[in-house]
Structure 1
Amino acid sequence: MSGNDFIIVDSEEHEESASAEEKKDVAVSESEKDKQDDEYEKVCFMCHRPESIAGKMIEMPNHITICQSCMQRSFDSMTNGSLDFSKLMNSIPGIQFLNLSDLENAIPKRQKIKKKKEAKEKPVKKLNIRDMPVPHKIKARLDEYVVGQEHAKKAMSVAVYNHYKRVASGTLDDIEIEKSNMLMIGPTGSGKTYLVKTLAKLLDVPLAITDATSLTEAGYIGDDIESVVSKLLAAADNDVERAEQGIIFIDEIDKIAKKRNSSQRDVSGESVQQGMLKLLEGSEVEVPVGANSKNAMVPLTTVNTKNILFICGGAFPDLDIIIKERLSKKTSMGFNAELKDTYEKDRELLSKVTVEDLRKFGMIPEFIGRLPIIFTLRGLDKDMLVKILKEPRNAILKQYQKLLALDEVSLDFDEGALEAIAEKAMEKDTGARALRAIIEEFMLDIMYEIPKDDNIGQVTITREYIEGTGGPVIQLRSQSVPLLNQTV
């Protein structure tokens, strides 16, 4: 090729290749944009609701999206000849008449709401009686977490096992097994709620724990009675069939007792008991999905409570006084006379409760009749409190030992310290809940000071430290003999 030769390039061919590259770049940018848009929800321009609530959006020019309900309202307003469109914006709140030509110069920034991550679908598990643990195995697992209360654990284990045998058997023959709802009575801090929570870990069934204090009669401020079932439905991931085989624990059931000497309507007492009668016995109820009360904006579903096991629990304060009055009705003179203080220090007094005592407390007989299994929990004594401190799998002392182990420090408690803690808890008279408050109080300084010194290898809590007459025993890493009476 000579120096005067020229290379002739077809201009049309060059333009086509350039335009192809531009189209490719535009396609890549649009795909990235679509990928980015997939992470966000579209928002209605008129009502500002996201697509997950309002439904599928209608695309308009200039990146405007409108939900179908707002679009329908706009069409209805335009087709109705009796309306004055010039006054439509000011007369009807919530309805806007769109003029797209006016929006060209004043288009707001595109509103985006990030989508919630979709939860992975859990495999649906069907109830199989062969997979259910037998009563002695259920009780053995409860023993690992709950100290004492042997009768209560045995009663719960048998009732739960029989309930699921009843559910699994269905209607195999003409004999229909009745439901065994339970009523737990025990002082505060005796482990009523903790027993049910532990049972929920052991059984692979949906369980809902709710409170009776917020329940009111339908139509009044508060939660409707059906809200206890809606919580179970939420625990079962809105699977109605699975929820119909679950367990509902209603705590503080004594708070819905009949109010005495009340001239007003008892909307949170006797009315709630009457509203729960069919719920406990077994009936089809309409339950709001994802809400505590029914309204026009919440979808409803029907749940049959025939196979739902109800466990009710309450402290029933002053019930012991009612039991004492009944037991002390014998004559105070003669051979059958009883001393007035015979039942004053009886720790097993609650175990002598009868249906008549509960009726006198304020529970209506129809409600008690639907809770055939009634058992009591003992108040905690000193020995039980010491065992609660150290024996359960997640005991309080083990929790603090684990916390200090993260700082490479060993924590020990001698027997005198455990007894001193139990004695202080007995004085508070709030059961096992008092243990956490007491330990938090004297462990505050230790948890604050220990991370300051890397030489500390072991701390032993003594009775003197609990009583405020001495300090803990601290052992340094370089010493084989502990330094006695050295305070933190």
Structure 2
Amino acid sequence: MTDFNNENENSSKENLENIQLEKYDMDKKEDKTGDTDEYEEFCYICRRPESKVGKLIKIPNNIKICAECMQKTFDTMNHTDINFDDMVNLSNLSNMPNISMINLSDLQNMIPRNKKIKKKKSKEEKKVTAFDIKSIPAPHKIKAQLDEYVVGQDYAKRVMSVAVYNHYKRVAVETMDDIEIEKSNMLMIGPTGCGKTYLVKTLAKLLDVPLAITDATSLTEAGYIGDDIESVVSKLLAAADNDVEKAEHGIIFIDEIDKIAKKKNTNQRDVSGESVQQGMLKLLEGSEIEVPVGANSKNAMVPLTTVNTKNILFICGGAFPDLDEIIKERLNKQSSMGFKADLKDKYDNDRNLLHKVTVEDIKNFGMIPEFLGRLPIVFSLDGLTEEMYVKILKEPKNAILKQYRKLLELDEVQLIFEDEALHAIARKAMEKKTGARALRAIIEDFMLDIMYEIPKDDNIGRVTITKDYIEKTGGPMITMRGCLELEENNSNIIQQQGLAIQ
């Protein structure tokens, strides 16, 4: 019996070597176009890429199997009690144990969808990087572009511009006189609706790099219900169209980072708090991890690829509620009794109290020191004031008022907002305490009737939004097209008379 097994093992190895030798000829015949050279192939069984397992063996029906899986298949066949010589005679199948007829058409829908991943470039090709030092915009240019879209937050924009500039210089050069430059990951702290996510979106758009935005609330320790920590890199890979090299130069923004703070006074395992922070340490610092392609979780039907997070810029953001209380407690310890002592309520109405935050305050909030050590750049965003709300309404390139004006211009109707009306909208938004997001909800509320009624009458030429209409004590001013023509004629006459006098 042992001689029979040895003969089968030797024959299986010889068959495997013959198949590998014949594979190169099959590659030349089947790969008539050069498109497949750009993408990697995957093993049909273990779903590992060709870059990891070596050359794949092609069998009929365009199925590719790695040498390891093929060898395991032969070994399994050799160590079974089934006599494969009997399988040649189909009449003996009924006598074979545990064999039943299989409808192959039922298996077509079970075949995993092919995922295309571009091959990693060789070391010689990697020397020519996509990022050139001269092509990276200077910090003042990055801030100037951010100013066109984001109102206020000058300090935050300056910090982000310098950090991003230094990061992509590091990516372009990698080494500078044998001095390794560390990553400049960032931690943004600011109240809800102050523009944290919008800043990162605008930054990625200006730099033309892939961006992945995820919430830390959905992350859990590996093995528990929820998304694994590596899923944030999977989203970045999907945003880069499964191009690994492009993804390795992208930006990952993890929002709601304050939700993974250590849970206090709990006896249960903290699988969504401190454990997530510890699991993210290797991502933030830079390491090679295997991530699924086209899915958030690893399973046998999804191919895996390796992504190096060394050059990925991580930006974490959170509102950190009750952090201001920790800051107040620290600052009030400096107060004393007697004359010229600080009052206990001195910082109660300080809108920008978060600017006084320290790493020690964030540590007391529940973030572990190892996690904060990998986020060297910590900065806070300003709380929104009434004037900032008004600027958000009308100054950015894609301001809300400009959007509605464009919509009514398509109906040949002018839309005008009085200054008092804008301040009334800003005060309403401040009462909601949800940041700039409240502006859209307020404007949608009072613009509903206007957008519904205007298309009914073609004689309407202008709509003026007043303060009374915002406060629901009056209505908007409607001007007909004939009145607009009279106003234009009168203004032209006045201008001509003024020129004649001069």
The TM-score normalised by the length of structure 2 is 0.74
Aligned equivalent of 2:253, options 246, 249, 256: 249
Distance 1:426 1:58, change over 3 A: same
Match of 2:206 among 190, 202, 206: 202
Q: Does 1:423 align with 2:427?
A: yes
RMSD: 3.3
Q: Given the alignment of the two structures, is residue 348 of structure 1 paired with residue 360 of structure 2, yes or no? A: no
Contact 2:129 2:172 in 1 (8 A): no
Residues 1-400 of structure 1 mapped to structure 2, 5 A cutoff: 79=84, 85-86=93-94, 96-97=101-102, 126-335=130-339, 337-400=341-404
Residue 88 of structure 1 and its aligned partner are, at CA, apart by 9.1
Q: Is the contact made by 1:248 and 1:310 (CA closer than 8 Å) also made in structure 2?
A: yes
The CA distance in 2 between the partners of 1:57 and 1:396, in whole Å, is: 59
* Long gaps (5+) in structure 1: 1-54, 60-65, 100-106, 483-488
Deviation digits for residues 372-430 of structure 1 (CA, Å, limit 9, x no counterpart): 10000011000000000000000000011111111111111010110100010011011
| Deviations 1:415-474, CA, capped at 9 Å, x for gaps | 011010001001101110000000000001001111111110110000010011111010
* One-letter identity of the residue aligned with 2:154: E
Structure-1 separation of matches of 2:94 and 2:424:
82
Code of the residue aligned with 2:241 in structure 1: it is D
Counterpart CA distance in 1 for 2:407 and 2:205 is: 24
Specify whether residues 163 and 67 from structure 1 end up closer, same or farther in structure 2 by C-alpha distance, changes over 3 A only: closer
Residues 132-151 of structure 1 show CA distances to partners (whole Å, capped at 9, x for unaligned) of 11100000000000000000
Assess if the C-alpha contact under 8 Å between 1:186 and 1:378 holds in 2. Answer: yes
CA shift, 1:337, in A, is 2.1
Contact 2:405 2:415 in 1 (8 A): yes
Whole-angstrom distance in 1 between the partners of 2:422 and 2:288: 52
Does residue 441 (structure 1) correspond to residue 441 (structure 2)? The answer is: no
In 2, the alpha carbon distance for the partners of 1:98 and 1:323 equals 68
Out of 164-173 and 149-158, give the one that drifted further: 164-173
Number of aligned residue pairs: 403
What residue is the counterpart of 1:11 in the other structure?
Answer: none
- Which one is further off, 254-263 or 386-395? 254-263
Deviation at 1:97, TM superposition (A): 3.6
Note if contact 2:281-2:370 (Cα within 8 Å) is conserved in structure 1. Answer: yes
Range moving further from structure 2, 79-88 or 169-178: 79-88
Point out the structure with max Rg over C-alpha.
Answer: 1
When residues 142 and 78 of structure 1 are mapped into structure 2, their CA distance, relative to the original with a 3 A threshold, is farther
CA distance in 2, matches of 1:330, 1:388: 38
**Matched residue SS, 2:202:** helix
Letter in 2 for 1:303: V
Paired residue secondary structure (1:478): helix
Q: Of 460, 474, 484, which residue of structure 1 is paired with 2:464?
A: 460
The change in CA–CA distance for 1:419 and 1:291 in structure 2 (over 3 A counts) is same
How much does 1:287 deviate? Answer: 1.4
Cα deviation code 1:148-183 (max 9, x no counterpart) = 000000000000000011111112422111111100
Residue 372 of structure 2 aligns to a residue in which SS?
helix
| CA 1:329–1:134: 2 relative to 1, 3 Å | same
Q: Distance in 1 between matches of 2:141 and 2:349?
A: 35
In the TM superposition, residue 335 of structure 1 has moved relative to its aligned partner by: 3.8
Structure 1 residue 343: deviation in Å? Answer: 0.3
* Structure 1 residue 58: Cα displacement: 6.2
Q: Which amino acid aligns with 1:136?
A: H
Alignment-mate amino acid for residue 233 of structure 1: L
Overall identity of the aligned pairs, in %: 74
- SS class of match (2:217): coil
Judged with a 3 Å threshold, the aligned counterparts in structure 2 of structure 1 residues 338 and 298 are, in CA distance, closer, same or farther, namely: same
* Aligned-pair CA distance for 1:236: 1.8
Partner SS state of residue 313, structure 1: strand
Could you tell me how far 1:239 is from its partner in structure 2?
Answer: 1.9
Whether the 8 Å contact between 1:270 and 1:364 is mirrored in structure 2 is yes
Contact 2:175–2:181 (Cα < 8 Å) also in 1: no
Residue 81 of structure 1, CA deviation? 6.4
Q: Matched residue of 1:393: which SS?
A: coil
Deviation digits for residues 51-74 of structure 1 (CA, Å, limit 9, x no counterpart): xxxx99968xxxxxx9899xx99x
Q: Deviations over 1:113-132 (max 9, x none)?
A: 9x99x99xxxx981212111
1:403 equivalent among 400, 404, 407:
407
Which amino acid letter does the alignment assign opposite residue 408 of structure 2? L
Contact 1:148 1:384 in 2 (8 A): yes
Cα distance in 2, alignment partners of residues 342 and 214 from structure 1? 38
Rounded Cα–Cα distance in structure 2 between residues aligned with 1:343 and 1:255:
25
